[in-house]
């Protein structure tokens, strides 16, 4: 699959590179695993003197041997003697960058925590001493959310306050997914597009795996994902076990409950049979995996809270792969496929709501977007999109099948909703809309 999109990110990275030729820049590049950080950084620095260091899990002296070879190959500079400490190697590069400008990409930067934690304080010392004269463009990439935040946002850490910029690499936008699917399957259907969005969430590696395999229809995608040698089956566990450590089973149980619709604290606790307040706080704040959402226009102190797992792939993985792992253990992939197909209409209906919310956010036509539900769950609106500059709002019902959209019922919900929010929409022009797969 060719390289898609990322024009804005590349433009920003090239601007950072230009600034680094005057004085050193330290940019933190973050994003979940498989999102395409490495390819983005290599594309943005293409044709420039660039060192690429991948922090694999091996002894520091072996890493330094690899890095010294990279310096020799890319910059033509053999180092005199063997350097076994990354701190010393970084100090050498900071000195070198005073005479010549170059990019230094350090991929999986958080891995130094497992190899040699003192690297961070060594880097701080060399950075503080040399950054004003240096012309290095330092790009530090990491995919373990909790550790990357700890390294750069915890005031007790050596590199706190040192970064000059942060770039979050996000999934492909819905328009890019449509472009990719159209290129690989010009006759694609709305069902195919929804499946690609549901299974990958726009994560570059997952999209690439499916497209390169010719899995461009919903059926072909399921065939590729649900099979014995599928890379998708172990992916969720591979991604998160390192994040959660020994308590991963507790976190997995909570995420599985949320993925299948148990979205309030009371419902989650009923499923896992234990208090989950601390876990939910960490899942939201430390790991960035869930979001705490409230009805649009609700007060800050409201207890009418729901939890959502924002990552589409993980939502799918916990809903089907983790929940039915006992089928996988005995090789019952055919039965798992049947279960997914049985439950897919309901599952994808919720994902379709997320698709349209994402699409409206990308369009940048609104100042506030959210859902609405009362405490009893009796009056619920899928989407409310508000433009506070133009005093307009759209109240939206979303269904897979357009024939199931009941505009009279939506109008009744709208009347109750406007009564509850009172002055928030006073004087606004309100439009009621129904959205279905036909509008994707």
pLDDT of 2 reads: 65
CATH code of 372's domain = 3.40.1350.10
Claim to verify: residue 371 and residue 308 sit in the same structural domain: no
CA–CA separation, 406 and 72 (whole Å): 68
Domain-embedded: residue 227? no
pLDDT of 46 reads: 94
Claim to verify: residue 27 and residue 134 sit in the same structural domain: yes
Instruction: Decide which of 168, 200, 225 is a domain's last residue.
Output: 168
Domain-embedded: residue 20? yes
CATH code of 251's domain = 1.10.10
Claim to verify: residue 248 and residue 396 sit in the same structural domain: no
Task: Determine how β-strand 50-54 pairs with β-strand 25-30.
Answer: unpaired
Claim to verify: residue 294 and residue 432 sit in the same structural domain: no
Domain-embedded: residue 347? no
Claim to verify: residue 393 and residue 285 sit in the same structural domain: no
Note whether 205 and 31 are within 8 A (CB): no
Domain-embedded: residue 351? no
User: 3-state DSSP helix/strand/coil percent for the chain, to nearest 5?
Assistant: 50, 15, 35
pLDDT of 193 reads: 98
The SS3 of residue 1 is coil
pLDDT of 397 reads: 98
Claim to verify: residue 136 and residue 277 sit in the same structural domain: no
Note whether 309 and 255 are within 8 A (CB): yes
**Containing structural domain, residue 398:** 365-439
Instruction: Decide which of 142, 168, 194 is a domain's last residue.
Output: 168
Domain-embedded: residue 337? no
- H-helix or E-strand spanning residue 368: strand 368-373
CA–CA separation, 265 and 88 (whole Å): 49
Angle at alpha carbon of residue 212, lines to 210 and 214, rounded to 5°: 70
Closest by Cα among 365, 404, 400 to 386: 365
CB-based contacts of 229, cutoff 8 Å, min separation 6: none
CATH code of 48's domain = 3.40.50.300
Domain-embedded: residue 228? no
Claim to verify: residue 260 and residue 145 sit in the same structural domain: no
CA–CA separation, 334 and 319 (whole Å): 17
Half-sphere exposure of 277 (CA within 13 A, CB side): 1
Residues of the chain with pLDDT under 50: none
Number of domains, the chain: 3
pLDDT of 1 reads: 61
Claim to verify: residue 317 and residue 382 sit in the same structural domain: no
β partners of residue 293: 306
Instruction: Decide which of 168, 185, 208 is a domain's last residue.
Output: 168
Domain-embedded: residue 221? no
Claim to verify: residue 46 and residue 152 sit in the same structural domain: yes
Domain-embedded: residue 292? yes
Claim to verify: residue 290 and residue 386 sit in the same structural domain: no
Burial code (b: 16+ CB inside 10 Å, e: under 16) for 31-60 equals bbbbbbbbebbeebbeeeebbbbebeeeeb
Claim to verify: residue 60 and residue 148 sit in the same structural domain: yes
Claim to verify: residue 21 and residue 141 sit in the same structural domain: yes
Query: How many CB atoms are located within 10 Å of the residue 225 CB?
Result: 28
pLDDT of 146 reads: 82
CA–CA separation, 316 and 259 (whole Å): 7
């Amino acid at each position: 699959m060719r390289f898609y999109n990322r024009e804005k990110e590349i433009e920003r990275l090239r601007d950072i590179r230009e600034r680094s030729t005057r004085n050193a820049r330290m940019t933190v590049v973050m994003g979940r695993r498989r999102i395409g950080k490495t390819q983005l950084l290599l594309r943005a620095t293409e044709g420039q003197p660039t060192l690429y260091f991948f922090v694999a899990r091996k002894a520091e002296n072996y890493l330094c041997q690899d890095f010294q070879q990279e310096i020799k190959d890319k910059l033509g500079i053999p180092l005199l003697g063997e350097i076994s400490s990354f701190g010393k190697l970084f100090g050498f590069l900071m000195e070198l960058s005073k005479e010549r400008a170059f990019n230094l990409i350090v991929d999986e930067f958080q891995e130094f925590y497992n190899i040699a934690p003192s690297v961070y304080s060594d880097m701080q010392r060399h950075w503080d001493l040399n950054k004003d004269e240096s012309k290095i463009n330092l790009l530090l990439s990491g995919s373990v959310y909790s550790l990357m935040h700890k390294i750069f946002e915890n005031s007790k850490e050596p590199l706190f306050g040192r970064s000059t910029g942060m770039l979050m690499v996000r999934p492909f936008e819905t328009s890019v997914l449509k472009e990719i699917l159209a290129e690989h399957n010009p006759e694609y259907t709305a069902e195919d597009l929804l499946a690609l969005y549901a299974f990958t969430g726009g994560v570059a590696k997952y999209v690439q795996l499916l497209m390169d395999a010719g899995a461009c229809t919903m059926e072909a995608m399921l065939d590729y994902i649900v099979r014995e040698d599928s890379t998708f089956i172990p992916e969720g566990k591979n991604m998160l076990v390192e994040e959660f450590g020994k308590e991963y089973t507790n976190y997995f149980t909570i995420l599985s409950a949320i993925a299948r619709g148990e979205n309030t604290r009371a419902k989650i606790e009923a499923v896992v049979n234990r208090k989950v307040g601390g876990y939910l706080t960490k899942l939201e704040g430390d790991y960035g995996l869930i979001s705490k959402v409230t009805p649009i226009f609700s007060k800050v102190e409201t207890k009418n809270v729901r939890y959502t797992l924002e990552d589409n792939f993980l939502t799918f993985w916990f809903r089907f792969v983790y929940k039915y792992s006992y089928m996988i253990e005995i090789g019952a992939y055919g039965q798992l496929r049947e279960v997914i197909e049985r439950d897919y209409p309901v599952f994808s209906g919720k994902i379709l709501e997320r698709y349209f919310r994402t699409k409206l956010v990308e369009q940048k036509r609104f100042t506030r977007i959210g859902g609405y539900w009362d405490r009893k769950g009796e009056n619920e609106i899928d989407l409310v999109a508000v433009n506070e500059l133009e005093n307009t709002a759209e109240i939206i019902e979303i269904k897979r099948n357009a024939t199931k959209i009941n505009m009279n019922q939506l109008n009744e919900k709208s009347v109750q909703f406007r009564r509850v929010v009172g002055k928030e929409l006073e004087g606004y022009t309100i439009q009621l809309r129904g959205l279905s797969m036909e509008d994707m």
